[in-house]
Amino acid sequence: MGPVRTSHILLKVGNGITDKESYDAICEIRDAIKQGQTTFAQMAKEYSECPSGSKGGDLGYFGPGTMVKPFEDASYSLTKSHPTTDGEPVKTQFGYHLIELTGRVMMPLLLRRKWRASSAYRQHLVEKLNTPAGQ
């Protein structure tokens, strides 16, 4: 899998906002977008509680292992013909997300293997740096 580019709208839970209130609100946003009353980018600018909201929710490109698992899984399940999470919002520890696929990099097999190897090597270095000396 190559990198994907997504935009998202995040509504947080907590600080007096219940899980149900956040869920209901993000469903209203989703429905307004689906009905063509507004655009994904406009709703992100207006309602997203992520700094990316000011850019229409754009998170840029990211690869596997970069985002929290539920967000990443949802992002990689999107396709050009089905670019948004217009079904159920995605729940993470940050709150509820609507996600829109805006780009995908299709890597040739050889490049994909090289990219995975370099990702694995970076992970190995991080683990090594986090291991106390003498172990």
Determine the pLDDT at residue 105.
81
Residue 122 lies in a domain: no
Query: Given a cut of 70, is residue 18 above it in pLDDT?
Result: yes
Residue 112 lies in a domain: no
Residue 113 lies in a domain: no
Q: Are 93 and 8 in contact (CB under 8 A)?
A: no
Residue 12 lies in a domain: yes
Mean per-residue pLDDT over the chain, rounded: 86
Q: Are 97 and 8 in contact (CB under 8 A)?
A: yes
Residue 74 lies in a domain: yes
Determine the pLDDT at residue 102.
92
Q: Are 38 and 97 in contact (CB under 8 A)?
A: no
CATH number, domain with residue 13: 3.10.50.40
Query: Given a cut of 80, is residue 132 above it in pLDDT?
Result: no
* Structural domain span for residue 100: 4-107
Residue 118 lies in a domain: no
Residue 22 lies in a domain: yes
Residue 16 lies in a domain: yes
Number of structural domains (the chain) is: 1
Closest to 53 measured CA to CA, from 67, 40, 35: 40
pLDDT band at 123 (very low <50, low <70, confident <90, very high): confident
Average pLDDT of 39-50?
A: 97
